Amino acid sequence: MEKIPMTRTGYEVLEQELKTLKSVDRPTVIKAIAEAREHGDLSENAEYHAAREKQSFVEGRIKELESILGRAEVIDTAKLSGAVKFGATVTIVDEDSDEERTYQIVGEAEADLEKGLLNIKSPLARALIGKDEGDSVEVRTPGGDKGYEILAVKYL
């Protein structure tokens, strides 16, 4: 099986989500199913069907997280340095708009653009990999090609 690169923080966030699903969400859903069953005819029982659907989601997410965490390769980003690679926190500036942004390059399972966590498989991350401070990169986006300059590369 393919290993999934992940930061320590990303691993801990997913581990906490798994713990919550198992210790809080799963028992809550089981209780809701039991209560809905007491209402009688299951074929016309919307509460029962909603609870079963929720149970299906919770169990699916538990299986997904167990698979991801089981294949996770936690990389200590504090020990890294040099050019941009997995775990780097990169500050870039859009060469057209002068807008600065900072992203940490992380694994697919922990990526969240709103939190500044950039998927390593994204076009921007792939363009940044191997580059250094002061380098410019071109990224093909749905809106056309964009140019960025790397202002800073840090490993936290």
Shared-domain flag, residues 61 and 108: no
Give the model's confidence band at 110: pLDDT under 50 very low, under 70 low, under 90 confident, else very high: very high
* Structural domain boundaries, residue 85: 77-154
Work out the mean pLDDT of the chain and round it to a whole number: 92
pLDDT at 40 over 80: no
- In this structure, the number of other CB atoms found within 10 A of the CB of residue 142 comes to 5
Give the model's confidence band at 88: pLDDT under 50 very low, under 70 low, under 90 confident, else very high: very high
- The full DSSP string for 9-23 is HHHHHHHHHHHHIII
Whole-number pLDDT of residue 36: 85
Of 75, 110, 130, the last residue of a domain is: 75
Kindly provide the b/e burial profile for residues 12-31, where b requires at least 16 CB atoms within 10 angstroms of the residue's own CB: ebbeeebeebeeebeeebee
Whole-number pLDDT of residue 38: 84
Domain count, the chain: 2
Of 40, 59, 75, the last residue of a domain is: 75
Shared-domain flag, residues 61 and 36: yes
Shared-domain flag, residues 13 and 66: yes
